[in-house]
Amino acid sequence: MNSVNIEDKDFEIYLENDQINKRTRLIGIQLNVDYENRCPILIGVLNGSFVFMADLLKEIDISCEIAFIRISSYKGIESTGTIKEAFGLPENLHNRDVILIEDIVDTGLTLKYILEKVKQQDPASVKVCSLLFKPKALLEPIPELEYVGFEIPNEFVVGYGLDYNGLGRNLKDIYRAV
């Protein structure tokens, strides 16, 4: 599909599933090398990251654990800038190698909040792996953001786990608003 319509908005194709899979494979290889013999815990940030997390895990062949946390801070098409709460953060992160898995880093506020919470548990290391990253929207640098699938401009995207008003998460490819 070259374009989709969700509610009042039109979207055009931006990143095809094949492209996403190729990039994901490379990130997986990198993680296999960087985390060999470290048994990291991968924590997916719901809801958006669930598709990426599933595909990424299939490329990871080292021993690892997985968990998910949930944060809701985003309504409609612009960030509200207000973070609610994190639900389900594991409580046993002391001395662990933690990898946060995100769908997209926009202002970075969500990530900043999660990183603070994780660091309170004194883990051995924390890194972030995000499928998408909007560098121009970032409010302050995030040194932990080590693995990025694609850097994208400040445009609203849907599909492959990302939603517009709750819809579009099931699209195979990623689309941008036109």
| DSSP, residue by residue, 52-78 | HHHHHHTT--S--EEEEEEE--EETTE
Residues 51-80 that bind ligand 5GP (CB under 6 A): 74, 79
* Nearest by Cα to 177 from 103, 76, 102, 81: 76
| Consecutive H or E run containing 146 | strand 145-151
Would you count residue 157 as binding ligand 5GP (CB under 6 A)? yes
Would you count residue 6 as binding ligand 5GP (CB under 6 A)? no
The one catalytic residue in 55, 97, 103, 106 is: 106
Question: Catalytic annotation on 163?
Answer: no
Among 41, 43, 60, 105, binds ligand 5GP (CB under 6 A): 105
Strand order in the sheet with 86-87: 86-87, 65-71, 41-46, 97-105, 125-133, 145-151
Would you count residue 106 as binding ligand 5GP (CB under 6 A)? yes
Would you count residue 104 as binding ligand 5GP (CB under 6 A)? yes
CB of 158 to ligand 5GP, least distance (A): 5
**Active site members:** 106
